[in-house]
Amino acid sequence: MFNIIRQDIDAVFARDPAARSKFEVLLCYPGIHALIAYRVSHWLWKRGWFLLARFISQLARFFTGIEIHPGATIGRRFFIDHGMGVVIGETATIGDDVTMYHGVTLGGTSFEKGIRHPQVGNNVIIGAGAQLLGPIRVENDARIGSNAVVVNNVSSGATMVGVPAHAIEGRERRNKKADGSCGDFSPYAIPKRGIKDPLECQLATVLKHMESLQARLDALEQEQQGEDTAKRWESSKNKVAEQ
Give per-10-residue mean pLDDT for the chain (243 aa).
Answer: 85 87 90 94 96 96 95 94 93 95 92 91 94 94 92 91 77 47 61 62 79 85 76 68 63
Helix axes 50-64 and 30-46, enclosed angle (nearest 10): 170
Neighbouring residues of 42: CB distance < 8 A, sequence distance ≥ 6: 53, 70, 71, 72, 73, 74
Strand partners, 161: 166
pLDDT of 189: 60
**What pLDDT shows up at residue 179?**
44
pLDDT given for residue 229 in this prediction: 72
Q: What is the pLDDT of residue 16?
A: 85
Task: Give residue 14's pLDDT.
Answer: 86
β-pairing verdict for 137-138 and 143-144? unpaired
Report the DSSP beta bridge partners of residue 125.
Answer: 99, 143
Picking from 84, 82, 4, 69, the residue whose alpha carbon sits closest to that of residue 38 is 69
- Rounding to the nearest 10 degrees, give the CA dihedral for residues 31, 84, 131, 141: -30
pLDDT score recorded for residue 212: 85
The whole-angstrom separation of Cα 168 and Cα 178 is 29
